[in-house]
Amino acid sequence: MVDPGSAEGTSRNIGTIVGLAVLALGVHVVVNAFGGYGYFRDELYYIACSKHLAAGYVDQPPLSIFLMAATRLLLGDSVFAIRLVPALASGLSTAVICLLVRRMGGGRAAMALASLCFLSSPHLVAFHSFFSMNSLDILFWLLATYALLGVIERGDFVAWMWLGLILGLGMLNKISILWLAAGVVVAVVLTGLRGQLKRPGPYAAGMLAFLMFLPFVIWNVQHSFAHLEFMRNATAEKYSSLTRLRFLGDMFRNMNPFTFLVSLPGLWWCLVGREGKRFRALGVAFLTVFAILLANAHTKSEYIAAAYPAMFACGGVALERVARRWRRVVVAAVGGVLALTVVLLAPFAMPVLPVEDYIRYARALHVTPSNPENKKMGELSQLFADMHGWEELARDVSAAYLTIPEAERKTTVALVTNYGEAGALELYARRYPLPRVVCNHNSYWLWGVGATPITTFIRLGGKREDYFEVYADVTSTGIHRSRYSMLYENDLGIFVARQRKVPIEKAWPVYKHFE
């Protein structure tokens, strides 16, 4: 039998790596081509942000937005086009998982188990089902872990610089990779890597990562630390109902309980296993990330998701090695269960079923919609509900807009209060007659009210009488209904408001909504 760690075994496993990566990529490409419900709320916002390129945004660093701009330039902004990016990220992440397995001495069975864990985790699959910084975040965590293995094996300056480069790029995508950076620091201090502190490598890597992240830091200084304000508000308001117990329960459920048959042995193997102890830094880094997130009383379970793929790789190797005598039985049993859960759980993470079929499927399995944001739910999960109703909203607002005399439309805006509505109205303005959009949510607030004077405002939601506090003349023009959207986006009254009592440009500073 060929040793999977040998040159021959390594060469033979290239086909396995490519095959598993193509499988992960293909699943998402097929769903994007033949399934899907429509733009996700955040995708609409990312498209809007890509029209305002900057070194930072209220709710995120700039890298994913620049990637969105490049995607729109090369491929357009259709749902299929922008979701090619997370689909590619899924394939690349699967390939890196397999490369981690190979570098730790694992073979094809270990690669298959680790990849099946990746493909059967609802959190991880969902992150690759729409465009966001999250799919890229997972890839950067995996690449950083692979670079950390280089530090463990060689410990030279080049290995450290690769790690610093990847962490820097990762921070420009999403600052949560700082948790992994903290894990690396703790791992260096508590393991045999401690001797590296006498060398320049760790410090040079940290400096490189910081210099790459510096543009976002400078942007925050210039904008009164908007990102920190956003995080404070989100924790105090949107995620205030989350508890540590819910974090653990949601993590166990949304990572897929059966993946722990692989990740827990992987954690044990790299922490105390005889063969895995030289990779102890990976286990220490994972536990550090876990401790940081658990220490926060209001942590979403999805925040830990990026840390698990490295443990899947360790677990694949552990089951392949530790259970060598029973390898075929153990690998077949665990792999079979994971493969089954890929099929069973896919409809909850990807829009693969028609809506009515999904609702029946969820009810049959007694799965009820929930979300971490204190929002009332309808028939769909937040992931899927936020893919509905946007074009209908644009159509209904357009109908209201056309009731306004033509000469007045030039000084009319749609003033909305969340970036999903704003992004939808901007995107569908190429299909329906729509006014200019003004919004006070996150980066939209920074972009301001634009050209003034504004005489007429189209407003969404609420009651007509409430608007008289701000406007002297308010007319109801219709109601927007969307059965499958989030409940707060359904049954929205549409109003045309005139004679604003305080000019919008003067009131704008107090309208800020960072959340």
Cβ neighbors of 367 (< 8 A, separation 6 or more) are 348
User: In 3-state terms, what secondary structure has residue 303?
Assistant: helix
pLDDT at 257: 96
Res 326 pLDDT > 90: no
Sheet strands side by side (includes 456-460): 436-439, 412-416, 456-460, 492-500, 471-480
- E strand or H helix that includes residue 452: none
pLDDT tens by residue, 75-112: 999 999 999 999 999 999 999 999 999 999 999 999 99
Cα 365-367-368 angle, rounded to 5 deg: 150
- Which residue pairs from 194-198 have beta carbons closer than 8 angstroms and sit at least 24 positions apart in sequence? 196/151, 196/155, 196/160
Which residue, among 41, 44, 92, 90, has the nearest Cα to 68 in the 3D structure? 44
pLDDT at 236: 77
Res 155 pLDDT > 50: yes
Q: Give the tokens for residue 222.
A: 């210039």
pLDDT at 262: 96
The dihedral over CA atoms of 430, 431, 432, 437, expressed in degrees to the nearest 10, equals -30
pLDDT (mean) for 151-159: 95
pLDDT (mean) for 213-227: 97
pLDDT at 241: 73
pLDDT (mean) for 404-429: 97
pLDDT (mean) for 436-454: 95
pLDDT tens by residue, 163-208: 999 999 999 999 999 999 999 999 999 999 999 999 999 999 999 9
The dihedral over CA atoms of 441, 444, 447, 449, expressed in degrees to the nearest 10, equals -70
pLDDT (mean) for 301-325: 91
**Contact 125/349 with Cβ under 8 angstroms?**
yes
Percent of the chain with pLDDT over 90: 86
Res 372 pLDDT > 70: no
Residues 357 and 258: their CA atoms lie apart, in Å, by 25
Q: How far is CA 89 from CA 16, 69, 264, 470, in A?
A: 18, 17, 25, 47
Residues 508 and 91: their CA atoms lie apart, in Å, by 44
pLDDT (mean) for 288-313: 94
- 473 pairs with which residues across the strands? 498
* Averaged confidence pLDDT in the chain: 93
The residue length of the chain stands at 515
Residues 110 and 319: their CA atoms lie apart, in Å, by 7
Res 2 pLDDT > 50: no
User: In 3-state terms, what secondary structure has residue 199?
Assistant: coil
Query: Would you kindly state where each structural domain of the chain is located, as residue ranges?
Result: 7-356, 390-511
pLDDT tens by residue, 18-33: 999 999 999 999 999 9
Percent of the chain with pLDDT over 70: 96
Residues 149 and 262: their CA atoms lie apart, in Å, by 20
pLDDT (mean) for 320-331: 78
Res 4 pLDDT > 50: no
Res 115 pLDDT > 70: yes
pLDDT at 12: 66
* Preceding peptide of 86 cis, ω within 30°: no
Neighbours of 499 (CB within 10 A): 11
pLDDT tens by residue, 373-416: 567 778 899 999 999 999 999 999 999 999 999 999 999 999 99
Beta strands at 412-416 and 436-439: parallel, antiparallel or unpaired: parallel
Res 34 pLDDT > 90: no
Residues 389 and 374: their CA atoms lie apart, in Å, by 21
Res 5 pLDDT > 60: no
